[in-house]
Structures are given as C-alpha cells and as structure tokens.
Amino acid sequence: MNKDPDEALVERCRQGDRAALGTLMRRYQRAIYNAAYRVLGNGEDAADVAQSVFLKVAERLDEFDAERRFFSWIYRIAINEALNVLRRKDHEEPLDAEDELPGAESLDPERIALAAQLAGRVQHALMSLRFDDRIVITLRHFSGCSYGEIATILELQEKTVKSRLFDARTRLRGLLRDLQPA
C-alpha cells in the first residue's frame, strides 16, 4: 500500500487538531466542489454537498479505515452526498446557465458567448447522462482520477470502470457529436 499523502493530517485530525481539519478541507474543497458541480450542475447544490462532506468527514473520521486512501473515502462520501441531493429533489435539475458564467463581466462578450455556449452544451450533455455515467466521467475528466483510483472510490473492478467509461463516453459522444475539432 502506498503511503497516503493525507495520512499525517488525518492522524492529527483524529487527535482533535482543528487546524489540521481546516488544512484538509482546504486541500479538498476545490476538488470536491467541482466534482459535485459537474455531477449536479448547480453551484448551490455543489456548495451544500461540499459542506456536508466536510461535516461528515469531521464526524466520522474515527470510522475511516487508515488502510485506505483518504481521497477515495472523501470522494466516496461526496458521491453519496450528491446522490442524496438528487434523491431529495427527486429530479435532476436543469443546468442553470448563469452558473456557467462566473466573472462574465470581465470578458469579451463574444468570447463569453462562445465559452458559455460550449460549456453549457457540455454541461447539459453531462446532465443528460445517467448518474453513474456522470460519476465516472467526472472522476476521470474533472477530478483527474486514474482507472485504479476510480475503481477504489466506486469499489469496482478496473475493467468495470473501463467498461463504464466506454459506455458513458459513447453516450456523451452521441450528445456532442456536432462539436468541431478546436
């Protein structure tokens, strides 16, 4: 088992070190927030999920199996929290286009329009996929996880991950077939 880069921080957290908890949260806030956003397509929900994840991490740290990687544990929590949000809402929210235009006032209108159009298209396509598809696409493309890491997070075999990615991408390609090469 490779050494977990978060191990020292996790250990300090277990001893009640609040500063270490803050460091751990800061280390993962961007990754978790963005992953949640890509799965849920909504900034507010993503922020809620991220905060819920951090609270659960704080509450359940003693349950964390130190033989596992912390990142896979926190991602797993994040996925479950995202799923909970979807279940609570009982439907999948359409993309809020405004969420795709942060800092829009600082950009050239034409570029904003083009970037927003592309981002909106892709995010819409993502949201059109099944939750499972979105999860593997998100973990691979937005969280930068390897096949092995995705397998760990989702508790699947690597070949299953590859298969799911293949299927998810095939469906995504179908939705984005008209995109032209850059």
Shortest spacing between CB 99 and other proteins, in angstroms? 7
Determine whether 102 is exposed, middle or buried from the number of CB atoms within 10 Å of its CB (0-12, 13-18, 19+). Answer: exposed
The nearer residue to other proteins, 79 or 165, going by C-beta atoms, is: 165
Name 46's Cβ contacts closer than 8 Å, sequence gap at least 6: 33, 34, 36, 37, 40
Shortest spacing between CB 76 and other proteins, in angstroms? 13
The nearer residue to other proteins, 48 or 92, going by C-beta atoms, is: 48
Rounded CA-CA distance 2/178 in Å is: 43
How far is C-alpha 115 from the chain's CA centre? 21
Shortest spacing between CB 115 and other proteins, in angstroms? 8
Rounded CA-CA distance 89/92 in Å is: 7
Shortest spacing between CB 27 and other proteins, in angstroms? 5
